[in-house]
Structure formats: C-alpha cells, structure tokens
C-alpha cells in the first residue's frame, strides 16, 4: 500500500515565555547595623595593606630577615633567650607571621645586629598572616598535621571534660619547641601548645550590641 505524501507545513513559532528573576526591593532587605564604637583604623594605609598582601614582597622581606639571623650565628632559641620571647615566636617574627611590638624592638635589634631600620619598621606593621597549602607535603609539617588529626578527637574530649564546651585559643597562645633526652638516651621533640581556654558563648539576644539602639556619636 502506498500512502500519499503529506504536505509540508512549517512549524509555527510558539509563545515566548519570559522568565524573570524576582528580586526583593531594597527596602525589603535586612539592614546590617553595627555599633558606633566599631571603626576602621586609619593608621594602616591602602599602600601598606597592599604591601602586606604582596606575596613577592613578603618573600623578599623574609629572605632578608633570615639572612640577618644567619649573619648573627644564633639559633631561634638563642634569640628567644636574649629577647624573652619563645623560640617559635621569634621564628614567626622573622617569617612575617607575627607583629614586632615596640617594647621588644630594641632587644631584637641587639640580638640580631644586621637588622636594618627598614626591616624593623616593616616587622612592626601588622602582618598578613597566611600559609602555603602545599607545605603540608613537607614531612615534618605533614606529621604534625597527622598527629593533631589523629589525636584531635581525644584532645577535644579531655578539653570538654576538664574545661567545658570550648576551645583553645590560637591567638592568646604560646608555643615552644624543646629538645630533651628520652629514657633510652635518644633525642626527643617536645612541642608545647599553651593557649587560653575560650568557652562557647550562649547567644542571648539581650547581650547583642547590634540589637541595642544606636547612639549618635
């Protein structure tokens, strides 16, 4: 059987549907309120902030700082003993991971004579604290990370048991690395974390400063 060919009819364009994203009006958006006491310090200029965030400039500064330390012939622990700082904090200062305080500047310059005025001034600027994620591949750092992760759950349980529901601060914090002899006479690494206990806050609305009426300056 032969079927007759059907005449060709071009498809008719259908209705165009417009999908519009409905956005709330500006008046419907929540208003962020900050206490009048919060202000951005003007002492840190944009140029200074940009310099702190420049990885290349930071690397160059760290290279100069470490060269000055090498010229002194002293270890981090030696410099710590002369300045009254922990050996880890000395290392943090020279790696631009901590801020040199004015009261400590003179002692650090005495301990590391090769430090120039420009380097000391740079060290007194608030640093842009950061780290390279790739450094976890370094075995010494990887093992530290592994130890914290492996023992972390038990450490947390003891913190909760002895202190309550909270954490150890890494800002109000002291850290040292010490070398001792074990019972077998072999060298052992003693790593000390000494951090302030910070309890988790019960979030009572009455204590939120942002909920209080804003006062005119």
Residue 196 per-residue DSSP state:
E
| 3-class DSSP string for 77-100 | HHHHHHHCCCHHHHHHHHCCCCCC
> What three-state secondary structure class fits 202?
coil
Q: Are 160 and 74 in contact (CB under 8 A)?
A: no
The one catalytic residue in 138, 146, 188, 210 is: 146
- Clarify whether 77 is annotated catalytic: no
> What three-state secondary structure class fits 169?
strand
| CA 72 and chain centroid, separation | 29
The one catalytic residue in 53, 121, 138, 143 is: 143
What the block records as the tokens of 17 is: 């549907």
- Clarify whether 117 is annotated catalytic: no
Any idea what the Cα angle at residue 197 is, between residues 205 and 129, rounded to 5°?
90
- Clarify whether 33 is annotated catalytic: no
The one catalytic residue in 169, 188, 202, 210 is: 169
Helices 76-83, 87-94: axis angle to 10 degrees equals 100
Distance CA 107, CA 79 (A): 9
Which residues are known to be catalytic? 143, 146, 169
């Amino acid at each position: 059987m032969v079927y007759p060919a059907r005449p060709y009819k071009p498809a008719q364009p259908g209705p165009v549907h417009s999908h519009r994203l409905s956005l709330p009006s500006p008046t419907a958006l929540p208003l962020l309120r900050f206490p009048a006491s919060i202000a951005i310090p003007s002492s840190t200029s944009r140029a200074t902030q940009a310099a702190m965030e420049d990885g290349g400039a930071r690397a160059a500064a760290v290279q100069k700082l470490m060269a000055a330390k090498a010229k002194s012939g002293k270890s981090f622990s030696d410099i710590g003993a002369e300045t009254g700082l922990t050996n880890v904090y000395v290392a943090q200062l020279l790696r631009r991971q901590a801020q040199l305080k004015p009261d400590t500047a003179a002692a650090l310059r005495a301990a590391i004579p090769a430090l120039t005025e420009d380097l000391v001034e740079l060290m007194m600027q608030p640093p842009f604290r950061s780290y390279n994620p790739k450094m976890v591949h370094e075995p010494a750092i990887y093992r530290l990370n592994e130890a914290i992760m492996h023992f972390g759950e038990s450490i947390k349980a003891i913190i909760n048991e002895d202190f309550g529901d909270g954490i150890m601060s890494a800002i109000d914090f002291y850290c040292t690395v010490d070398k001792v002899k074990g019972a077998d006479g072999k060298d052992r690494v003693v790593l000390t974390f000494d951090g302030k206990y910070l309890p988790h806050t019960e979030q009572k609305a009455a204590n939120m400063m942002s909920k209080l009426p804003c006062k005119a300056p």
